[in-house]
Amino acid sequence: MDGVFSAAMRHATQFMSAQNFMKNVIEATQVIQRALSEQNYDHSPVEGSPECSRLAALQTNIAESLGAVELPRKDSGVQSVRLLDAATERCPTARKRRPLGEVLTMLRQACPPRIGLNSKPIEKSRIAASAPKEAANLARTFSCEAGSRDYKVYVPSHAEVRKRPLIVMLHGCTQDPDDFAAGTGMNRLAEEHGFIVAYPRQPVKANQAACWNWFSPTDQMRDAGEPSIIAGITRTIMAEFNIDAERVYVVGLSAGGAMAAVMSAAYPELYAATGIHSGLAHGSATDVVSAFAAMRGGRGPAATVLRKTHRKGANDRVRTIVFHGASDQTVHPSNAEMIFAESRACLAEPAQETQHDGSMGGRAYTRRVIAGANGVPHAEHWVIEGLGHAWSGGSLDGSYTDQNGPDASREMLRFFLGGPAQPSTS
């Protein structure tokens, strides 16, 4: 390798010694990634080379400084990373310590590399080819005072006279609509059941890792920030297509799951139910620092006060289903417990709780259900043994998926469509 990478390593090391550590670790990552993108893949540093040693040392120093925990490896059932850092692909020592984007598990909101939990890249041409010819995968842009976002709309192929349900899908960090659609298989289910799916896109200009800013106070409020944009996209699709206003749902993974929780809390009249996979409860954080704490399972004083304020306005009409991996080392499983507990608490009528332990797709799971007096599930909590930070029962065509375990997409759809219609507010 020529001097570009060596210079980048020196530059990154200088960043690490500065006072503003959190900001500089991001800049250090960016420097290395930019340098790697300029190198030919065949010229990655080999084991024993000076570049390889410096990369390994830098990764280890960052990880030790942050106290980051390591993600599950292959032997825990999670697939290997889909995109390794180019410099570590042929550098076992560095790879043993994990790529920068994976080592910094607490910095997924800021880490620019596109890193997933699958071994093969997404072939977007194959994704498009898998859809029936009559289906439409439309690209749109929505703008309002808070900003603009691109989004995709999948309209299934078969004709539908009656009004259709709508599911709004919020991707996780480093993902995009095509990636999320491929991994969750939600378009395939749309073909089976005739609903429409929307995929808003979070651009890197809004967040360096394309994460929804669920931890920002202005992005946790009604009629402000990203929630107002997502709500605007939802209403626009409802007006453009023949959507049943009483069967509109919002789903998200990780940061998208946290934003889905925000949407159901901020717009309870808009969404009949929400699905949260590996996410966090509304009001869990007030800034980046408290976001990291919440992801680890802790709560800061400011976030605790914010959560008490949010709970006062809880609306018991928004039904919630939660999926979380018991081995998730990126977002602690206690976050799912909190979401489920709050769903239980806001159910005004007498509730009945049941628990079922079973196995599906080669993974054991525990499923707890809170049902109202009518017997319809108001909240469900799935804990999947051996699952890390990945979509349960997903497709390897997308990132952050695990093909084993219960099919989270199908179970969410069953929960949505099997429940009561949203009461009219007019």
pLDDT in tens, 184-235: 999 999 999 999 999 999 999 999 999 999 999 999 999 999 999 999 999 9
Q: How far apart are the first and last CA of the chain?
A: 66
At residue 246, the pLDDT reads 95
This prediction has a pTM of 0.70
- Kindly give, in sequence order, each residue whose CB lies less than 8 Å from that of residue 318, ignoring residues fewer than 6 positions away: 264, 265, 268, 271, 272, 273, 274
Lowest mean per-residue pLDDT among 133-142, 243-252, 263-272: 133-142
* pLDDT mean over 421-425: 44
> Can you spell out the DSSP letters for 252-316?
EETHHHHHHHHHHHH-TTT-SEEEEES---TTS-SSHHHHHHHHHT---HHHHHHHHHHHHT--T
How high is the pLDDT of residue 346? Answer: 75
Buried b / exposed e over 237-271, threshold 16 CB at 10 Å, is bbeebebbbebbbbbbbbbbbbbbbbbbbbbbebb
Q: Which residue has the higher pLDDT, 283 or 135?
A: 283
pLDDT recorded at residue 321: 97
pLDDT band at 154 (very low <50, low <70, confident <90, very high): very high
Lowest mean pLDDT among 44-58, 276-290, 320-334, 389-403: 44-58
Q: Coil, helix or strand for 399? A: coil
Query: What is the structure's pLDDT at 69?
Result: 34
Q: Which one, of 146, 165, 264, 160, lies nearest residue 206 by Cα?
A: 146
pLDDT in tens, 101-125: 443 343 433 333 333 334 333 344 3
pLDDT tens across 387-417, in order?
999 999 999 999 999 999 999 999 999 999 9
- pLDDT tens digits, one per residue of 376-386: 899 999 999 99
Would you say 391 and 182 are in contact if contact means Cβ atoms under 8 Å apart? no
The structural domains of the chain, with segments of one domain joined by +, span 3-107, 125-417
Q: Which CATH class is domain 125-417?
A: alpha beta
What region, left, alpha or beta, does residue 292 occupy, with left being phi > 0 and alpha being psi -120 to 50 degrees?
alpha
d(CA 160, CA 246): 17
Indicate whether 347 pLDDT > 50. yes
- Indicate if the pLDDT at residue 93 is higher than 70: no
> How many CB atoms neighbour CB 328 within 10 A?
24
